[in-house]
Amino acid sequence: MKPTGSIHNLGLSLCIGAAGLTVAACNTTKATVDTTVNFFSSTSPNQLFTADGMVRTEQKINLFAGVAYENLRQEAAAGGGQYVQALASLYDIPADKHGEFGLVLQRNYADLFAVGLEDDSRAHLKMVNVLNRELVAASLLR
């Protein structure tokens, strides 16, 4: 059975639309891909894994911060959100302290997110260093 003209046109339109979305998605994820590539190219295997083969907690935090940097930036300004909660969980902050964790990000927003990943491929690592210091000061991290 041969497809009718309208079904054929609909299928063609869907394919063109999907291709357009794919191209648009590539543009929005370049910073994320670059960050991931830079992370793995600048991390030696001994720094990445524990003796039993698990990814070190600090490396999980660094990688998450790089991949979710722009989402974290938006949510930190608001003092919370799903990415902020996920980061708090990676830091092993108890659930009842996630609100306080969000406030630390919000209060220190200017220092944490001084530059974007487009301007500095290590911005996420600088953000983590500042956050570590502020979490110790707030007695949320030992």
Across 7-11, 47-51, 87-91, 119-123, least confident range: 7-11
For 33-84, the pLDDT digits (tens) are 455 555 555 555 567 788 888 888 999 999 999 999 999 999 999 999 999 9
The predicted pLDDT at position 45 comes to: 53
Entry pTM: 0.69
The predicted pLDDT at position 50 comes to: 82
The predicted pLDDT at position 107 comes to: 98
For 98-140, the pLDDT digits (tens) are 999 999 999 999 999 999 889 999 999 999 999 999 999 999 9
Separation of alpha carbons 32 and 73, rounded Å: 14
Separation of alpha carbons 13 and 85, rounded Å: 40
Separation of alpha carbons 56 and 88, rounded Å: 16
Average pLDDT, the chain: 79
| Residue environment code for 123-142, b if the CB has 16+ CB neighbours within 10 A, otherwise e | bbbbbbeebeebbeeeebbe
Separation of alpha carbons 49 and 58, rounded Å: 10
Residue 21 has pLDDT above 50, yes or no: no
